[in-house]
Amino acid sequence: MSYAYLFKYIIIGDTGKHILLFFTVTYTKSGFLEIIKNARVGKSCLLLQFTDKRFQRVHDLTIGVEFGSRMVTINNQQVKLQIWDTAGQESFRSITRSYYRGAAGALLVYDVSRRETFENLNAWLEDCRRHANEYVTITLVGNKADGAAAQRQVSEEEGLRFARENGLLFVETSAMTSANVDGAFIETARVICNKIEEGYLDPTNETNGVKIGYMPGGRHHHHHDQSREGESRSGSVTIEEMEKERAAGTYGSVGKCC
Full domain range(s) for residue 170: 5-22+31-256
pLDDT, residue 119, reads 94
| Dihedral sign from CA coordinates of 122, 120, 167, 160 | negative
Quick one: pLDDT at residue 43? 86
pTM exceeds 0.85 for this model? no
Half-sphere exposure of 87 (CA within 13 A, CB side): 16
Residue-level pLDDT at 82: 94
Q: Which pLDDT does position 232 carry in this prediction? A: 36
Give the per-residue pLDDT at 239.
72
Q: Mind giving me the DSSP string for 74-121?
A: ETTEEEEEEEEEEP-SGGGHHHHHHHHTT-SEEEEEEETT-HHHHHTH
Around 116, how many Cα atoms within 13 Å sit in the side-chain half-sphere?
10
Q: At 119, which amino acid appears? A: E
The 10 Å Cβ neighbour count of residue 90 is 14
> Domain total for the chain?
1
Taking only Cα atoms into account, the Rg of the chain, rounded to an integer number of angstroms, comes to 19
- Note the pLDDT of residue 192: 94
Q: Give the whole-angstrom CA distance, residue 78 versus residue 89.
A: 34
pLDDT for the residue 154: 97
How does pLDDT run along the chain (258 residues), one tens digit per residue? 789 999 999 998 875 543 333 334 444 444 444 433 344 568 889 999 999 999 876 555 444 578 899 999 987 889 999 999 876 445 445 566 777 888 999 999 999 999 999 999 999 999 999 999 999 999 999 999 998 899 999 999 999 999 999 999 999 999 999 999 999 999 999 999 999 999 999 999 999 999 998 755 554 444 444 434 433 334 446 777 766 765 666 544 333 445
19-25 contacts at long range (C-beta below 8 A, 24 or more positions apart): 20/61, 20/89, 21/61
CATH of the domain at 89: 3.40.50.300
